[in-house]
Chains A and B, each alone.
Chain A
Amino acid sequence: MTSTAPALSAAFRGQVGSFTLDVAFEAPLAGVTALFGASGCGKTTILRCIAGLHRLPGRLAVGGQTWQEDGTGLFLPPYRRRVGYVFQEASLFPHLTVRGNLVYGARRAGPAGGQPVIALDQVIGLLGLEHLLDRAPGKLSGGERQRVAVGRALLAQPRLLLMDEPLSALDRQTKEEILTYFEALNKELAIPILYVSHDIGEVTRLADRLVVLSKGGKVAEGPLGTILERLDLRPVTGRFEAGVVLTAQVAAQDPAFNLTRLDHFGQAIVIPQVDAAPGTPIRLRVRARDVALATTRPEGLSIRNVLEGTVAEVREEEGTAFAELLIDIGGGRLRARLTRHAVAELALTPGVPVYALIKSISFDRRSMA
């Protein structure tokens, strides 16, 4: 036992295929930390190094325990590391039933070492596996398989759950369904998750912290909101899906129009009705391409969400028609993607007051009671 706060601290450097991986990052052992980056940037390799499935020179400590230290030659074999690993493909054992798969790791986990034990019934309930227990993995749908894989990893009593693009092999609807399970998991079990993905939508929905990777190196790391507001990361966080997250509180319900009014630092935001009590925080995601700007308050407009703010930062994309702007809306920030022509004509420079018109907002239910 050491007195350091439980956290994950990793540093790896080495040749992986055609590129050199060189990253160092820390993550709290709480909430969801996403390793985010394009395909082939080394995300999966990092996860494999943490699990001990791949060995690169470096060091790794998890919750005050050293798992790899090159100086002393320490390298804990994977089966002695308390991690759960969810692979891209569910990789269930075909010779065992769903139940057999679930208890495989549970039987071998050994004493939990002071942690609360994750029980079989709890996992079955959380992931909705009751009716699958006696089935063969070959008889399950893709989404069901992945849920079993997550349950199996959790029952191995990990201190840290590693997830390697667990949704990438699934169709959109199944993805949505599984994400709901993941959110419940995160809330119920308080198990820290390290989540690898190249899908900014998934990441903004699940993650609290982001480690942004590109070509084997770390580009940025920090809380989700902070990272998403950084215009300089646009090449990595993506053009089309780039956006920010805002947290607003439920203010009132409008049953006549099936709307919910939210309060965001004194400004009103309206979203399709969500069933939540006043005061409940709701996490919203606003994409840069869904935000338009006006210098005067527009009239006769179908858009419901118009927020007052000031331009904080303008970044023109050389050689393209576009520019990205960061708008301060008092307590939060929005990203807006406009043409450079519009920026010039409206004379948008830092400090200019603007009205931000939000065409579309997506929100998740994770933060709701």
Chain B
Amino acid sequence: MLETGIVWAEIWPPIRLTLELAAVTTVTLLIIGTPIAWWLARSQARWKEAVAAVVALPLVLPPTVLGFYLLVALGPDGPGGWIAGLWGERSLAFTFEGLVIGSVFYSMPFVVQPIRNAFEAFGDRPLEVAATLHATPWDAFWSVAVPLARPGFLTGAVLGFAHTVGEFGVVLMIGGSIPGETKVLSVAIYDFVETLQWTEAHILAGGMLAFAFIVISAMMILEKRIARPRP
């Protein structure tokens, strides 16, 4: 099967790009998702569930719908176009930055939900204890809440990363398939199939399968190891 010339030059760039996209998206999501998760876990506001629903929307929304709205928002007439105008571009659509923005929205629930659950799981008591031990809220967040929510952060990061690696619909809508710029793995597989490059499609698809299996296994093992008896 693999005897005829495999076009490695077409296989590597999508892998590299996908890993870059997933890494940047995961880090971004941890930075903006953590305060959102904290607020959702701690706030007494009645409308917080509405915010939670907005965050969770990508779970049920068809990716093409999300992609369509993002395309409009990132395009020349949307806020994305205005932002791109700051450095002389017309649009954020069909750019790597645009993909990151889209992925952040798309993968948000997979990061926020586990972290929120972890923040809710330990309740108010550890933070009250920290307060009576002279820890300011900021201090207590870093010295108590984050360490206690470690399993949630791990799950969130892994799911966010893996989910970004696997996205297709949103990327297709806002990224197209510009090689080296926006052509990620899933789009590359699609294109290989379209052009009847079955071998290349097999390599990428098989790789993804292995990757998914490894991620899930690693997560389950780590979760077991990280879970400690609580007093």
Q: Could you tell me if A108 and B231 are in contact, using CB atoms closer than 8 angstroms?
A: no
Neighbouring A residues of B229 by C-beta, 8 Å: 94, 138-139
Q: Is A53's beta carbon under 8 Å from chain B?
A: yes
Sort chain B's interface into a size bin.
20 to 34
- Cα A288 to Cα B96 with chains together (Å): 83
**Bound Cα distance A93, B131 (Å):** 13
Q: Are A78 and B231 in contact (CB under 8 A)?
A: no
CB distance from A85 to the nearest CB of B (A): 4
Instruction: Give per-residue flags for A66-105: 1 if the beta carbon is below 8 A from chain B beta carbons, else 0.
Output: 0000000000011111011101011111110000000011
List residues of chain A with CB within 8 A of the CB of B136: 79
Interface residues of B in 122-164 (CB under 8 A from A): 125-126, 128-137, 139-140, 143-144, 147-148, 150
B225 at the interface (CB under 8 A from A): no
What separation, in Å, do the CA atoms of A53 and B128 have in the docked complex? Answer: 7
Task: Quote the shortest CB–CB distance from A288 to chain B (angstroms).
Answer: 38
**B224 within 8 Å of A by Cβ?**
no
Pair A92/B133 contact, Cβ less than 8 Å: no
The CA of A105 and the CA of B131, in the complex, are separated in Å by 9
Check if B230 is an interface residue, CB within 8 A of chain A.
yes
Main secondary structure of the interface of B (DSSP, over half): helix
How far, in Å, is B26 (CB) from chain A's closest CB?
Answer: 23
- Inside 8 A of A83's CB, which chain B residues have their CB? 132
- Interface assignment of B228: CB less than 8 Å from any CB of chain A: yes
Q: Please indicate the chain A residues that have their CB under 8 angstroms from the CB of B129 in the complex.
A: 85, 87, 91, 93
For B134, list chain A residues within 8 Å (CB): 79-80, 105, 108-110, 156
Name the CB-closest residue of A to B123: A91
* Residues in chain B near residue A139, CB distance under 8 A: 229
Contact of B231 among A79, A85, A94, A152 (CB under 8 A): A94
Is the Cβ of A51 less than 8 Å from the Cβ of B148? Answer: no
Q: Is A133 in the interface zone, CB < 8 Å from B?
A: no
How far, in whole Å, are A197 and B230 apart by their CA atoms in the complex?
25
Q: A105–B133 contact, CB under 8 A?
A: yes
Closest to A77 in B: B131
B133 with A156: CB separation less than 8 A: yes
**Which single residue of chain A is at the shortest CB-CB distance from B230?**
A94
Give Cα A87–Cα B140 distance, bound, in whole angstroms: 18
Q: Which residue in B125, B135, B140, B231 is a CB contact (below 8 Å) of A140?
A: B231
**CB <8 Å contact, A53 and B132:** yes
Q: A137 at the A/B interface (Cβ < 8 Å)?
A: yes
A367 to B134, CA, bound (A): 33
Closest residue on chain B to residue A53 by CB atoms:
B128
**Chain B contacts for A156, CB-based, 8 A:** 132-134
Contact of B228 among A51, A89, A109, A138 (CB under 8 A): A138
Given contacts A91-B125, A93-B126, A94-B148, contact A145 B231 (CB under 8 A): yes
- Contact (A152, B133) CB under 8 Å given A94-B231, A137-B231, A145-B231: yes
How many Å lie between the Cα of A93 and that of B134 in the bound state? 15
Closest CB in chain B relative to A51 CB, distance in Å: 6
Interface residue A150 (Cβ < 8 Å from any Cβ of B): no
A145 to B131, CA, bound (A): 19
A residues neighboring B (CB under 8 Å): 51-53, 77-81, 83-85, 87, 89-95, 104-105, 108-110, 136-140, 145, 152-153, 156
Could you list 29 examples of A-B contacts with CB < 8 Å?
Answer: A51-B132, A53-B132, A77-B131, A78-B131, A78-B132, A79-B131, A79-B136, A79-B137, A79-B139, A79-B140, A81-B132, A83-B132, A84-B132, A85-B129, A87-B129, A93-B126, A93-B148, A94-B228, A95-B144, A105-B132, A110-B134, A138-B228, A138-B229, A138-B230, A139-B229, A140-B231, A145-B231, A152-B133, A153-B133
B residues at A contact (CB < 8 Å): 125-126, 128-137, 139-140, 143-144, 147-148, 150, 228-231
